[in-house]
Copies of this chain bind each other. A is one copy, B any other.
């Protein structure tokens, strides 16, 4: 057995035998329900080699399984080869989820061990009915000898239009309304939003790993993980201390919570099983009220987001110009080179704080994986033919971006052009959508998909996700997808619009802008909302089959490209502005 992962799984099984555990469940999350965990909590990757952003693992004495969704099937098949781990597909009609699979596989009352820190408390209810659940915090520590520590990075203060005091007043009013004595904020984006702080504890996410306990007359921030030496953090801490915030060690949260008396508001979406099992107080468990509050951006945040999209658009246009010229000049460019170049161009933007996720630069078949990882070594070389997909974004001090452009590098096949055009129709139709106040994303998802559906095409991911303000590039509670999320879209929410078409082994297309929900003039039939596109970067018109577009879609496209030119040209070198004028000419 040469495979390192197969070996690690065997070592885990030895531990299981010693402890008499029948199964172990490990998740790809962290103690805060984060979508992107710090390296310390990449347990699934360490155990199986699978690097997808979503994946849970179950190990029994004779089976090792990875549960992941449509986005990662191709990737999982490649990465799991030789590990002995079997892929269990989710988000497909015939899915068998972990609780059901365990129910069919293990005897009742079997012992199932979990790392309770990395398990959502609410998710454990079903399992605990059928099995003896053993919560073992940091379960892998005895096997994972070089496991990374909990990160502690510099913490800065931000001023996004609402003060800490205002936010605490709002939260305390919510507590009073709900009859709660305190709120445990366990989601990292919520903590950063409430305290007006940002860190770098997690790649691409400006969060600080911590817990926050907000009572009627106190705020306890469990944040300290070691000596503080950097001036930014010291200044931030001084400012918070002067506002009455108590700073406490991260690991003290457990004790404080176990001793808490009264009624505690906890976030069902991020509270972990370990902490939950320590609570002896009365709890009110629901989606954190912070989520909806921070999803609706204030005027300062909106101004920042608009600025971020201008700065980001400049970098994107410089990148696309560089790409086209380099290939014209016969340079050898790989996907990785492209991704590095884009990062460099973005880094020149004022207030750039890093990328908002790992850039996907994918040429040809790689683009058929919606969550492709561009390889650092031996990345595919770009040729002047077919489609290149680039999904990227940045964190700025004043906003967050997320954009996908799919550009023709030369001649495209009829099928590529059809897919490119149909997908763009879906994107534009959603951009132009008008809907009544009270409408949820799932009720308008079909507007983006119908042009694809009519052509027998579809995609296996959501059409849109919420985006934070210099926070997570994915945030709730709103989305636009084929679920039954009842959260209405509200003016001030920012959401992506990103239909795609993927053909395994051939090509992939995705057109993505961020859009802002805005209020339109009311009529006698009610109040109306629509979308205002924030992202500024032209759509290439050379791969469009114009005869497939409706007059209103063409009108939108030409107006958008013209707006991109008018806004960005003054900020670009003359040569690139000239090039952009040609690229954005009306068709």
Contact status of A435 and B446, CB under 8 A, knowing A456-B523, A525-B458: yes
Q: Does A443 contact B (CB under 8 A)?
A: yes
Q: Does A447 contact B (CB under 8 A)?
A: yes
Q: Does A457 contact B (CB under 8 A)?
A: yes
Which B-chain residue is minimally distant from A457 (CB atoms)? B525
CB distance from A296 to the nearest CB of B (A): 17
Which B-chain residue is minimally distant from A523 (CB atoms)? B456
Name A486's contact: one of B484, B525, B550 (CB within 8 Å). Answer: B484
CB distance from A508 to the nearest CB of B (A): 13
Residues of B within 8 Å of A447, CB to CB, are 446-447, 450
Q: Does A330 contact B (CB under 8 A)?
A: no
Q: Indicate if the CB atoms of A453 and B435 lie closer than 8 Å.
A: yes
Number of copies: 2
- Residue-wise interface mask of A (79-99) relative to B, using a CB-CB cutoff of 8 A (1 in contact, 0 not): 000000000000001000000
Which B-chain residue is minimally distant from A521 (CB atoms)? B456
A482 to B486, CA, bound (A): 11
Q: Does A295 contact B (CB under 8 A)?
A: no
A159 to B110, CA, bound (A): 53
CB distance from A536 to the nearest CB of B (A): 24
Q: Indicate if the CB atoms of A433 and B457 lie closer than 8 Å.
A: no
Q: Does A528 contact B (CB under 8 A)?
A: yes
Q: Does A174 contact B (CB under 8 A)?
A: no
Q: Does A434 contact B (CB under 8 A)?
A: yes
CB distance from A132 to the nearest CB of B (A): 26
Interface centre among A432, A435, A450, A503 (most CB of B within 10 A): A450
Name A453's contact: one of B450, B454, B524, B528 (CB within 8 Å). Answer: B528
Q: For window 546-561 of chain A, which residues contact chain B by CB distance below 8 Å? A: 550
Residues of B within 8 Å of A442, CB to CB, are 442-443, 484
Q: Does A154 contact B (CB under 8 A)?
A: no
Interface centre among A436, A445, A456, A457 (most CB of B within 10 A): A456
**Chain A positions near chain B (C-beta within 8 angstroms):** 93, 432-436, 438-440, 442-447, 450, 453-454, 456-458, 482, 484, 486, 503, 521, 523-526, 528, 550
Q: Which 9 A-B pairs rank lowest in CB-CB distance, beginning with the nearest?
A: A456-B523, A458-B525, A434-B453, A484-B484, A434-B454, A444-B446, A457-B525, A435-B453, A443-B446
- Beyond A434-B453, A435-B446, A446-B446: 11 further Cβ-contacts under 8 Å? A435-B453, A436-B453, A439-B446, A442-B443, A443-B443, A443-B446, A446-B447, A447-B450, A456-B523, A456-B528, A457-B525
